[in-house]
Chain A
Amino acid sequence: MWRFPKAREPIALMACIIIVKDTGVGREDSLIDEQDAIRRCQIGDRESFRPIVERYGSVLMGTIYLMVRDRAISEELVQETFVRAWNGIATFRLGRPLKPWLVRIAVNQALNANARRQTPVEPLSAANEGGAADPGFGQSDEQHEVRQALSRLSADHRRVVVLRYFADLSTREAADALGIREGTVKSRLARALEQLREILGS
Chain B
Amino acid sequence: MSEQHENTEHRVREALLAEASEAPAPQDLWARVEPRLERPAARALGWLRGWRLAVGGATAAVVLTLGGAGAALIAADQFSGGEDGALLAERQWRGTDDGSLGAITVNDTDVDLYDTDGKQSASADSPGEFLAYDPGMTGEPTLGPVPSPALEKPSTDLVTGQPSSWDPQVPAGERQVISHASIDLEVGDVNAASTQLRGLVQSLGGFVEHISTSGGPNPEYGSAVVRVPSDRFPDAIDGIERLGKPLGQTLGQRDVTGEAIDLEARLRSERSTEESLLKLLDRAVSVSDVLTVERELSRVRADIERLQGQLEFLQRSVALATITVSFVLPPGSVPVAPSATLQLEVEDVEYSADLVQELVNGAGGAMSRVIIRTRQDSEEAYLSFSVPASALHGTLTSIAVDGVVLHREVESDGRLGQGEQDEDLQARVTVQLQTYRDTELWRSIWVSVAAGLLAFLGVAGTLALLFRARRRRA
- The residues of A with any CB-CB pair to B shorter than 8 Å are 1-4, 6-7, 10, 13-14, 17, 36, 39-40, 42-46, 49-50, 53-54, 57-58, 60-63, 65-66, 71, 74-75, 78-79, 82-83, 86-87, 90, 124, 139, 142-143, 146-147, 150, 161-162, 165-166, 193, 196-197, 200
Residue from A13, A44, A200 having most chain B Cβ neighbours under 10 A: A44
Main secondary structure, interface of B, reads helix
- Contacting residues, chain B, for A147 (C-beta < 8 A): 15, 18-19
Residue from A36, A43, A61 having most chain B Cβ neighbours under 10 A: A43
Would B24 and A162 count as touching, CB distance under 8 A? no
Confirm or deny: B17 has a beta carbon within 8 angstroms of a beta carbon on chain A.
yes
Please, which residue of chain A has its CB at the minimum distance from the CB of B41? Answer: A44
> 5 other contacts beyond A39-B474, A139-B18, with CB at 8 A cut-off?
A50-B30, A71-B23, A79-B32, A143-B15, A165-B12
- Contacting residues, chain A, for B51 (C-beta < 8 A): 2-4, 6-7
Q: What's the Cα separation between A185 and B387 when bound, in Å?
A: 101
Would B29 and A57 count as touching, CB distance under 8 A? yes
Confirm or deny: B11 has a beta carbon within 8 angstroms of a beta carbon on chain A.
yes
Would A58 and B16 count as touching, CB distance under 8 A? no
Q: What's the Cα separation between A14 and B13 when bound, in Å?
A: 38
Please, which residue of chain A has its CB at the minimum distance from the CB of B32? Answer: A79
Residue from B14, B25, B36, B47 having most chain A Cβ neighbours under 10 A: B25
Distance in Å: Cβ of B3 to nearest Cβ of chain A = 12
State which size class the interface on B falls in. Answer: 35 or more
Q: What's the Cα separation between A61 and B294 when bound, in Å?
A: 151
Would B474 and A17 count as touching, CB distance under 8 A? yes
Please, which residue of chain B has its CB at the minimum distance from the CB of A41? Answer: B43
Would B20 and A83 count as touching, CB distance under 8 A? no
Would B33 and A66 count as touching, CB distance under 8 A? no
- Contacting residues, chain B, for A78 (C-beta < 8 A): 25-26, 29
Interchain Cβ contacts under 8 Å between A and B, 5 examples: A4-B51, A42-B47, A49-B34, A57-B26, A83-B37
Q: Closest 8 A-B residue pairs measured CB to CB? A: A62-B20, A44-B43, A146-B15, A61-B25, A44-B40, A57-B25, A65-B23, A166-B16
Distance in Å: Cβ of A81 to nearest Cβ of chain B = 9
Q: What's the Cα separation between A10 and B50 when bound, in Å?
A: 14
Would A1 and B474 count as touching, CB distance under 8 A? no
Confirm or deny: B119 has a beta carbon within 8 angstroms of a beta carbon on chain A.
no
- Contacting residues, chain B, for A36 (C-beta < 8 A): 474
Distance in Å: Cβ of B386 to nearest Cβ of chain A = 73
Please, which residue of chain B has its CB at the minimum distance from the CB of A42? Answer: B47
Confirm or deny: B112 has a beta carbon within 8 angstroms of a beta carbon on chain A.
no
Q: Which of B5, B19, B34, B38 contacts A66 (CB 8 A)?
A: B19
Would A58 and B12 count as touching, CB distance under 8 A? no
- Contacting residues, chain B, for A42 (C-beta < 8 A): 47
Confirm or deny: B418 has a beta carbon within 8 angstroms of a beta carbon on chain A.
no
Distance in Å: Cβ of B348 to nearest Cβ of chain A = 54
A45-B40, A46-B40, A90-B49 known; A61+B12 contact, CB < 8 A: no
- Contacting residues, chain B, for A53 (C-beta < 8 A): 29-30, 33
Q: What's the Cα separation between A79 and B23 when bound, in Å?
A: 14
Q: What's the Cα separation between A181 and B23 when bound, in Å?
A: 30
Confirm or deny: B4 has a beta carbon within 8 angstroms of a beta carbon on chain A.
yes
- Contacting residues, chain B, for A193 (C-beta < 8 A): 5, 8-9, 12
Would B15 and A62 count as touching, CB distance under 8 A? no
Q: What's the Cα separation between A165 and B6 when bound, in Å?
A: 12
How would residues 244 to 259 of chain B score, 1 for a CB under 8 Å from any chain A CB and 0 otherwise?
0000000000000000
- Contacting residues, chain A, for B13 (C-beta < 8 A): 165-166
